[in-house]
Chains A and B, each alone.
Chain A
């Protein structure tokens, strides 16, 4: 008996879904022990856990996108886009408590959106906020241990906007002190216009986008308070909501009625996307591995 939901997906979508899951497995597990290079204190098991969670997160993300935008093809596309984003690829291949938190938050958010019962929604909301608070406290040394009166407002604002800047999001993500691919941003640059369209096209007061908006703002504030800024990875928690906005932007951009324009846009987008992703892979697999090897023995935190 084939469930109705799967029957409705369509054969083409199933084909691409399987392809993307295979691609995710390849991205997560291929040479997981050597790329990035393993230090003395690197545990392969921790990397495998991250890889598994990464694959799981791609699945959850696809389900959530389908739930938000009600389009299967868009959901499948979102999985592909998520698994090709530079920061996501890097995090799922190393020990990453931020990935664990991101999974938890995504599941909770998905629950908030899907579950009708208001009590459970409230509970899920409480857990959501609680997860962020606890993780901030545990993962970011110095957070909430500093009296509020010594928090530098100017620096906080500077850090906050720096996190949401074009440079950090698309050009140079300097969250890694272990020498990972800092020559690329959090996302591939080609997603920039779609992120803008998504943010403008989906007002923050509407439905699930209120949650996404607050999610990004809270995470950004917490990350901005980090004592190790700009080398903090808390901002990874904002990757999923920002990606949802970008997916929304893609949906709006390709809803143009005029077919020739849509075709040209799609062709251009695909070519630039492909080149950007291959460029990132080249940097990550080759150049940055060389860089990490140079000072591997000096790294004291396991990854």
Chain B
């Protein structure tokens, strides 16, 4: 009974931290968020996405072909609250809070099966869920529209139900359903989730339910694989992998090895010497994935996800953490280490082995992509850190229990005090400094620019919005709440590419321009970055970031 109240209290904390000022901190929506929001709005009003595709199983969005779960979850939110930043971010906040609940059940399931933690499993589980509730990493993505956050909830639930379903067929089938749905939740999950499932089957092969039950589980899962398979093999959906993987050179990474080209050159040499067959066998383009230097880079990328600086000091990209903070509290480090070591030495069984393997498997997808470490692509590693940290704390508590009373009280008081200070410091950095220091990265200013152009658009024939604003058409669609039926009647989005100049609606044309354009086109309003305009231009409005830097210039 007491456990329920404590858990309820933790969930309330989780909801409060995620819902408080949602939509206002961070200050603005970035391009993925506006795209998610507008697609949901479009589905709500027309049943089609911004490209006119009816109930798509994958959203072309910004030409990154997003998995569909988050968009469809946003539809009811937009229906209730309208197309607002709050509504767009709400699913992430709700499922982030629910993940805290599922973490409790996960902890219960795992720690109740480990002999050294059996008697304390409830407390460790409560501690794990509390740590996740206040986790900087989880909070950061629960307060913005990130698909991976919903994926974390689905993955945790699927695993909990699998483990509990070993003795309950109903839960086992629901687990199959969740594992299947997980394939549609996020890009990385399509690799990580099946690996986790294989690990579960391997580790618990002797505890599996009867063959008939397992057969039904596999049948349900295979059905989802069949549904996702066309997406996986389609060239469009592979664009995201092609653009981000380290085996093919990216457009902005000119110093990388051009492996396909190198292999081709070697094959040409062989063909010229009369060894065409040998060239096809030994210099086949499919073998670029065995290039040693690239694999070494992949290993480096993988290991970087466990680096101290990344996890505890400064995180990765500014969008992924609060200023001056890492992804985890530095105070968690000693308990994390103690937890892992003790689990290996004293509590090693299938359940703890699975948790360790989960931690090892989650960053695998980031190994073969650029920009490593990456907090978004590896968020599926949560809540393993919290589970180990909670276990480490319980170990320390067990050691303290053998000391004198004053030592126990002092120890617990100090640890609690330090944690409270850490949490307060994080919340201060997040709520006060994020908007001020990172407003540029959160693409603030677009909303104000949209409001200005909407107020004055009747004065102009056309409004040119520079592509240097990065996906400006999405921001204008979102903040003007442009009716999707009207938008689709005009052709909808032509392309989600950064450099595509074909998108337009109403009087808005999203293209680069050389100021001033041909005056015979009539009175034109220009919206762009400061560098888009020469000196002496007739500025109508200047929009600033919160740190005083010029963000957007509007001129005629």
A interface list, Cβ under 8 A from B: 167, 171-172, 278-279, 282-283, 286-287, 290
Contacts and interface: CB of A to CB of B under 8 A. Distances in A.
Counting from the closest, the 8 A-B pairs by CB-CB distance are: A171-B292, A282-B282, A279-B282, A282-B278, A286-B275, A286-B273, A286-B270, A172-B292
Q: Interface majority SS on A: helix, strand, loop or mixed? A: helix
B448 interface: no
14 contacts: A167-B292, A171-B292, A172-B292, A278-B281, A278-B282, A282-B275, A282-B278, A282-B282, A283-B282, A286-B270, A286-B275, A286-B278, A287-B269, A290-B269
Given A278-B281, A286-B273, 16 more contacts: A167-B292, A167-B296, A171-B292, A172-B292, A278-B282, A279-B282, A282-B275, A282-B278, A282-B282, A283-B282, A286-B270, A286-B275, A286-B278, A287-B266, A287-B269, A290-B269
Contacts of B273: 286
Contacts of A286: 270, 273, 275, 278
B279 to A, nearest CB: 9
Contacts of A172: 292
Contacts of B270: 286
A283 B275 CA distance: 12
A157 to B, nearest CB: 21
Contacts of B275: 282, 286
Contacts of A279: 282
A290 B273 CA distance: 11
A204 B88 CA distance: 63
Contacts, number: 18
Interface of B: 266, 269-270, 273, 275, 278, 281-282, 292, 296
Contacts of B278: 282, 286
Is chain B's binding surface mostly helix, strand, loop or mixed? helix
Nearest to A185: B292
A167 B293 CA distance: 10
A282 to B, nearest CB: 5
A167 B278 CA distance: 25
Nearest to A280: B282
A276 to B, nearest CB: 11
A187 to B, nearest CB: 14
A283 B269 CA distance: 12
Contacts of B269: 287, 290
A279 B270 CA distance: 13
Nearest to A290: B269
A287 B281 CA distance: 15
Nearest to B275: A286
Contacts of A278: 281-282
Contacts of A290: 269
A283 B278 CA distance: 10
A279 B266 CA distance: 13
Nearest to B292: A171
A225 to B, nearest CB: 27
Contacts of B282: 278-279, 282-283
B291 to A, nearest CB: 10
A286 to B, nearest CB: 7
A237 to B, nearest CB: 25
Contacts of B266: 287
A290 B292 CA distance: 22
Nearest to B266: A287
A287 B296 CA distance: 24
Nearest to B290: A189
B512 to A, nearest CB: 45
A96 B185 CA distance: 61
A286 B266 CA distance: 11
Nearest to A172: B292
B275 to A, nearest CB: 7
Nearest to B279: A282
A290 B272 CA distance: 13
A137 B211 CA distance: 69
Nearest to B278: A282
Nearest to A283: B282
B280 to A, nearest CB: 12
